[in-house]
Amino acid sequence: MANKSRILLTGAGGFIGHHLVKRLKADGHWVRGVDVKYPEYETSAADDFQILDLRVWENCLTATQNIDQVYNLAADMGGIGYITSFLADISKNNILINAHMLEAAKQNDVKRYLFSSSACVYAQSKQKNADVTPLKEEDAYPADPEPGYGWEKLFAEELCRYYYHDYKFETRIVRFHNVYGPLGTYDGGKEKSPAAISRKVAKATDGGSIEIWGDGDQTRSYMYVDDCVEGLIRLMASDHRDALNLGTDEMVSINHLVDMICGIAGKTLTKQHDLTKPQGVRGRNSDNTLLRKVLGWEPSTPLEKGLAITYKWIEGEVKKKEVGELAEVTGD
């Protein structure tokens, strides 16, 4: 984009948001970051970083003042264990954030608004087999999304469409498919599977075992965070107003993902499958036909390359934490 813009990025203290702030700054834009927390592992590159709870209407008005574009990545979300445990809170919090942000952006004459949706909007009936047919954008209907988080995302997509229909307010809708990379949450319950498995492998002793949720045959596709950021910027600059998948179509089983990470770590570990833990839909993969048509591009970072970078970072964080805990015990 030749013209430099004043950009608001909500969720700027989170994983994707932090990486996107860095990229937008590198491209020469003025960036305001907003979140309920600062980035955990690095200082934000934003010109202006504000701690604001976007469930509160007045805070959304403040955040969107004197802004050209909004990337609304703010959300109450996490891995499958988290989003299946807090249906009411997640739905309530995200509905408030998204309804307030849309209206505030419109009232403050924002030129363009991007909403971050999720592959959780897709009909569960189309994701019952591990060898799943890649999901096209129209497969979100008839509606049967993930309870709580998925229903809220699907409705917020509709709300974006209504704002264009009624007010000609320019919105963009992206459906993320499992984003991973360094500087993301890797423990505490909100982490996604590549980060959780990387943490478990890093902490395991070679020759030991690792706990896997479910039988491990469930399948997913994973997108490296740099590809995600590139796709977001390209979608914002496009004329495409309908929902668009943003992910890879390289589908792997969780068992294979574990094997890849063990190979990167140089460890041999036995898988202990816990069938009592949540594992989500049986299979999910992105159909990138429309993505390639609309953007003339698609994510290209090979999974093994992205995992190697991610694992190395998480392993370093785990070691730092272990050293700190040892120092506390010994009094050093």
In the chain, where the domains are located? 6-180+222-246, 193-220+251-286+302-322
295-315 per-position pLDDT tens digit: 999 999 999 999 999 999 999
What stretches of the chain adopt beta strand conformation (E)?
Answer: 6-10, 30-35, 48-51, 69-72, 112-118, 171-176, 179-180, 209-213, 219-221, 223-224, 243-246, 251-253, 270-274
List Cβ<8 Å contacts ≥24 apart for 33-39: 33/9, 34/8, 34/9, 34/10, 34/63, 34/74, 35/10, 35/11, 35/74, 37/13, 38/13, 39/12, 39/13, 39/14, 39/183
Average pLDDT over residues 243-270: 97
Mean pLDDT in residue range 66-77: 97
For residue 78, the model assigns a pLDDT of 85
pLDDT in tens, 123-147: 999 999 999 899 999 999 999 999 9
pLDDT score for 332: 60
**Is pLDDT at 80 greater than 90 in this prediction?**
no
Region 42-65: mean pLDDT is: 98
User: Quick one: DSSP state of residue 287?
Assistant: -
Q: For the residues 13-29, what does the mean pLDDT come to?
A: 98
Question: For residue 279, what pLDDT is reported?
Answer: 83
Could you give the percent of the chain with pLDDT greater than 90? 90
pLDDT at 324: 75
Residue 288 · residue 136 · CB < 8 Å: no
- The rounded distance, in Å, linking the Cα atoms of 246 and 242 is 13
Question: What value does the mean pLDDT take over residues 58-87?
Answer: 95
Select the CATH number that applies to the domain covering 6-180+222-246 from these four: 3.40.640.10, 3.40.50.720, 2.60.120.260, 3.40.50.1580: 3.40.50.720
- Residues noted as catalytic: 149
Distance CA 225, CA 199 (A): 18
CA angle 283, 206, 196 (to 5 degrees): 35
Q: Which CATH architecture has domain 193-220+251-286+302-322?
A: Alpha-Beta Complex (3.90)
The rounded Cα 146 to chain-centroid distance in angstroms is: 16
**Mean pLDDT to the nearest integer, 187-210:** 94
Q: Sorting pLDDT into bands at 50, 70 and 90, what band is 189?
A: confident
Mean pLDDT of the chain, nearest integer: 95
In the structure, what pLDDT confidence band is assigned to residue 323 with cuts at 50, 70 and 90? confident
% residues pLDDT > 70 (the chain)? 97
**Sorting pLDDT into bands at 50, 70 and 90, what band is 1?**
very low
Q: How many CB atoms lie within 10 A of CB 260?
A: 18
- Lowest model confidence (mean pLDDT) among 156-160, 184-188, 277-281, 318-322: 277-281
Cα distance between residue 59 and residue 155, in whole Å: 22
Mean pLDDT, residues 31-60 taken together = 98
d(CA 284, CA 235): 22
